Structure 1
Amino acid sequence: MHGNSVPEPGTDSRVPDSYVYVTEEGVTRHYSDGSVEALAWEDVVEVRVGGADDADVLIVLLDRDGEGCVVPRSATDATFLARLRYLPDFDLDRLSSAMETANSGYVVVWRSPEPPSPLPDLEYD
């Protein structure tokens, strides 16, 4: 998704609202106001789908702290979908169904099957 842009509804499509980039390391969304959302694939613990009747369907990737990256459906491509398949037991059919029936609420389509690992007890001298 190198350079795919998502125009804001009702605006000139030549002036993008944001850009979404997918790499082997993670997903980054750059907004026109200069803000950035980024999440490493290794930190993704939940994927949600939602949207509104008059807006693009959104795919939300979250980490353990609830921070994440929002990817509009219009910015998804084969690279993004292929990378989602690397998440343990990720079901692309479930994602597809959720995107087709998305409404103003959000539906969890994937959650990490592994519980958070506890931090090791470290002893210092």
Structure 2
Amino acid sequence: MHGDSVPDSYVYVTEEGVARHYADGSVAALAWEDLAEVRIEGGSDADILYILLDHDGQSCVVPRSAVDAAFLARLRYLPDFDPERLGAAVNASAGESVVVWRSPEPPAPLPDFEYD
């Protein structure tokens, strides 16, 4: 059978967040308001990954092949986001992981515990 192969995932960027839908039906999603960190994991130009993390360590991984102008524009709206740092990280050598943005807001404090 000839034709286009089915991609292993689709990435949707909305005003609310990012969602990656995998071929097996699973979904990894992250709301922009919950975003705590953006990392770039380098390899060859074709396999660069944008790793989005929340304060609880949940992630949504966006491959470079799924990155479009809407995704990059939304990153630029993050407080104190530095596009030059992003560009440098994307051009980093293979195998590196570079944090390009962290939320200026600290994670929510742990609840107060009462000790006897």
Task: Deviation per CA, 1:72-111: give whole Å up to 9, x if none.
Answer: 1111111001101111101111111101115223111111
- Tell whether 2:6 aligns with 1:18: no
Q: TM-score scaled to structure 2, two decimals? A: 0.84
After superposition, the Cα gap between the structure-2 partners of 1:70 and 1:92, relative to the gap in structure 1 and judged at 3 Å, is same
Report percent identity of matched pairs: 70
Paired residue for 1:29, among 12, 20, 23?
Answer: 20
Q: 1:68: which partner in 2?
A: 59
Paired with 1:102 and 1:35, the residues of 2 have a C-alpha distance of 31
Paired with 1:23 and 1:56, the residues of 2 have a C-alpha distance of 23
Q: TM-score scaled to structure 1, two decimals? A: 0.79
Identify unmatched segments of 5+ residues in structure 1: 1-11
After superposition, the Cα gap between the structure-2 partners of 1:83 and 1:111, relative to the gap in structure 1 and judged at 3 Å, is same
Read off the aligned partner of 2:100 and give its amino acid letter: V
The number of aligned residues is: 110
After superposition, the Cα gap between the structure-2 partners of 1:94 and 1:49, relative to the gap in structure 1 and judged at 3 Å, is same
